[in-house]
Amino acid sequence: MPAGPPSAAEIRALGINARLADWIALHRKDAVSAAVPLPPPDLMRRMTGLATAADFVRGGTEMLAALAKASPLPPAEFKNILDFGAGCGWLARFFKGYRGHYVGVDSDIGAVAWIKAALPWVEGHLVAPRGRIPFAPGNFEGVLAATAFTRMDARDYTAALNELARVTEPAGTAMLGLLGPQALGRAERDADIRARLGVAEADIAKARAAMQGGGLYLARGGERPAAFVSAAFADRACRDLYEIVSYTPAAIDGLMDLLVLRRTGLPVRRGWLRL
């Protein structure tokens, strides 16, 4: 007789190695928090702008589903992964049971301390802004930056891309979440989205003008900075480091754009990129 669908216990035991749809569905149930820890509410809110565990988990599942859909490999099949700007494990939580080497780096000491204490499958590292990632060149097959590039000015943006290119193996994949025109439009219409992103109303027109000019605008009027970026800016920043595989507007939760890159293997440009 054919086997029936896996039980919740079997899915929990497999973690990221389960069928992804089953793993995501399980995370949308309250009971899964017993198998995968949740960060404390104050840390969750400070790092993501989300006030409840339900919103935190739902947002993470949307992010994982979008990354998996765009990725050239199922997430569990990368031999090693760098989670750049891992925060308090918004994405890393889902990699329970990962059989490769999962590294999470962030500049927030509280977030890294929580990851190291709560998520044993993650090797957490505290790195300074614009700091060097403590791994050799070409070390990672997969690089995930779900939210890091939503909080950077142009100088930090290009410095981070150079450092990620250094540690991505030739032909390796990097996937970046960005805030584009759709996110700005939603922030303009919805006060809750503005609060979540950390955007003041006064930032909206300035961000729109910057993107229409092919640039980046870092909104600093809210609780957290929010970087709104045009596709033209992203293209200029990446072109000597990565091949752009795809750029999908509003791919993550109908809000964030998703940029998928392939490392070209060319030498990393020295110094700051001029955009």
Q: Does residue 3 lie in a domain region?
A: no
Q: d(Cα 127, Cα 112) in Å, to the nearest integer?
A: 9
- CATH number of the domain within which 111 lies: 3.40.50.150
Name the pTM for this structure.
0.92
pLDDT at 81 over 70: yes
What is the band of 23 on the pLDDT scale with cuts at 50, 70, 90? very high
Q: Is residue 212 part of a domain?
A: yes
pLDDT, one tens digit per residue, over 182-229 is 999 999 999 988 888 888 888 999 999 999 999 999 998 767 789 999
- Give the model's pLDDT for residue 30: 60
Examine residue 1 and state whether it is found in any structural domain, yes or no: no
Count the Cβ atoms, other than its own, within 10 Å of residue 81: 24
Query: For the residues 268-273, what does the mean pLDDT come to?
Result: 40
In this model, does residue 2 exceed pLDDT 60?
Answer: no
φ and ψ of 138, to 5 deg: 70, 25
In a domain, 143, yes or no: yes
Q: Which residues span the domain enclosing 23?
A: 8-263
Q: How many CB atoms lie within 10 A of CB 68?
A: 17
Question: Is residue 273 situated within a structural domain?
Answer: no
Q: Is residue 275 part of a domain?
A: no
Q: Are strands 140-145 and 242-252 parallel, antiparallel or unpaired?
A: unpaired
Q: Which pLDDT band, with edges at 50, 70 and 90, does 66 fall under?
A: very high
Q: What is the pLDDT of residues 127-182, one digit of tens each?
A: 998 889 999 999 999 999 999 999 999 999 989 999 999 999 999 999 999 999 99
| 274 has pLDDT over 50 | no
Confidence at residue 103, expressed as pLDDT on a 0 to 100 scale: 98
Band (pLDDT 50/70/90 cuts) for residue 275 is very low
Q: 14: which 2 tokens? A: 């497999």
Q: Which residues contact 9 (CB under 8 A, 6 or more apart)?
A: none
Q: What local confidence, expressed as pLDDT, does residue 34 receive?
A: 59
Confidence check: pLDDT of 112 > 60: yes
3-class secondary-structure state, position 204: helix
In this prediction, residue 266 carries a pLDDT of: 56
How many CA atoms are closer than 13 Å to the CA of 15, on its beta-carbon side?
A: 18
Q: Looking at the domain assignment, is residue 170 inside a domain? A: yes
Q: State mean pLDDT over 33-55.
A: 84
Question: Does the residue 268 lie in any domain?
Answer: no
State both tokens at 268.
Answer: 């990393």
Predicted pLDDT at 226: 92
Q: Helix, strand or coil for residue 63?
A: helix
The confidence band for 32, taking pLDDT boundaries of 50, 70 and 90, is: low
Q: In this structure, what are the phi and psi dihedrals at residue 243, rounded to the nearest 5 degrees?
A: -90, 130
Task: Tell me how many domains the chain contains.
Answer: 1
